[in-house]
Amino acid sequence: MTYCVAMRLSSGMIFVSDSRTNAGVDHISSFRKLHVFQVNDERTLVLQSAGNLATTQSVMSLLRRNCEDDNQPNLLNGKSLYDVALLVGDTLREVIRRDGEEFGGSLLLGGQIRGEEPRLFQIYPQGNFIEASVDTPYFQIGESKYGKPIIDRVLRFETPLSQAMQCALISMDSTLASNISVGLPLDAMVYRSDSFSDSEQYHITDQHPYFSQIRQLWSKGLLSVFSQLPPLQL
């Protein structure tokens, strides 16, 4: 499986993906699930994928190939992020129609095209999609439930990007702890509104000093809060 989370906040966006894919217990591998399409000073697009690896790899291959032909709609010439979401949704729908409904997948598409605010879409296997809002500033795909409570507690539209990234990493930690099908390394990216830059990308392995540090502090902190709860009174 997979866990990807994306946040669209007042000052920019946060993207974090794990990299584990599995097809039965004997086939556990790592593949990148965070893909960046960049035109300096004009657009930064980020796609995250979950679901069947054949399906999502096919979608990414087709989207990349499209980018070579400027005469047809593609990720680099779409006028708005909505247009790009339509294209991605159509491509996902086509691949699933070709390969079979049992090979589903879903995608997160976020970023900014000059002339628009940053936007974030969640694209379903059926090809349709929803957009994040001030009230619902984040989306998750894949094994999303383990890491949802901490995001619901912490994240608001106004949360600063650095705190939001901490929150995404803690959410990932909760998922890693409870589900063996989600695994390191992580791909993470910070996008600052109106920067049109993909320069803040990070690859986080189990050796990463900051991630290791906050995982330990979080675990210790939780156990400490738990041990300080008042004695049971029912």
Find the part of the chain contacting a second copy (CB under 8 A) among 51-59, 112-120, 122-130, 205-213: 205-213
- Kindly state whether residue 209 participates in binding a second copy, applying the rule CB under 8 A: yes
Q: Which amino acid is at 207?
A: Q
Find the part of the chain contacting a second copy (CB under 8 A) among 63-71, 81-89, 122-130, 206-214: 206-214
- Kindly state whether residue 223 participates in binding a second copy, applying the rule CB under 8 A: yes
Binding residue count for a second copy, defined by CB under 8 A:
45
List C-alpha distances in Å: 170 to 101, 134, 221, 228. Answer: 33, 22, 12, 21
Find the part of the chain contacting a second copy (CB under 8 A) among 4-12, 80-88, 94-102, 218-226: 218-226
* Three-state DSSP class for residue 136: coil
Cross-strand pairs, 28: 22
Instruction: Strand 34-39: give its sheet, edge to edge.
Output: 34-39, 43-51, 105-113, 119-123, 129-131
- Kindly state whether residue 199 participates in binding a second copy, applying the rule CB under 8 A: no
Contact 13, 165 (CB under 8 A): no
Q: Which amino acid is at 178?
A: S
**163/165 Cα distance (integer angstroms):** 5
- Kindly state whether residue 25 participates in binding a second copy, applying the rule CB under 8 A: no
**Contact set with a second copy (CB under 8 A):** 143, 145-150, 152-154, 162-163, 165-167, 170, 174-175, 177-178, 188, 190, 200, 202, 204, 209-210, 213-214, 217-219, 221-226, 228-234
